[in-house]
Amino acid sequence: MFDRIDHLGIAVAPEDLDDQIALYRDTLGFELVHRETVEDQGVEAVLFDVGENHVELISPLGPETGVAKFLERNGPGLHHVAYQTSDIDAALATLKERGVRLIDEAARTGIRNSRVAFLHPRSTGKTLTELTEPAHH
Ligand code: CO
């Protein structure tokens, strides 16, 4: 069902985003490959390559977004783990059948026109888990 880990999502406060970009790009030496405002998820997202996987910095667009609330509760840091799947619809159906609580019953549009869906942390040992199906070219 899952092909590989796609990315780690790291929550960053808007005022810290430039510093965190500098950390990952200049200090850690990851290549910044993409930056996008993902309105649907209420975030500014910055993607770095780490081998064939990614680190995704996400910063909230407003105080009512999920990531803003996460920052309020937990402060900055690891927000979610994303697994790549080649068939997100089938994966969601299978997981639902196995009793996993879904945040997204159907896939939504994510970064770089991927299709994404989140599983509820109550079903995944408190780790917010994302499924992502890359855009097909
Ligand atoms: Co993500």
How many angstroms is it from 106 CA to the middle of ligand 1? 16
Residue 137 in this model has a pLDDT that exceeds 80: no
How many angstroms is it from 27 CA to the middle of ligand 1? 22
The pTM for the full model equals 0.94
DSSP 8-class letter at 62: S
Residue 99 in this model has a pLDDT that exceeds 80: yes
How many angstroms is it from 86 CA to the middle of ligand 1? 16
Residue from 79, 116, 84, 121 nearest 100 by CA: 121
Which amino acid appears at position 90 of this protein? A
How many angstroms is it from 58 CA to the middle of ligand 1? 8
Q: What is the pLDDT of residue 136?
A: 81
43-60 confidence digits (pLDDT tens): 999 999 999 999 999 999
Q: Which domains does the chain have, with CATH numbers?
A: 4-133 (3.10.180.10)
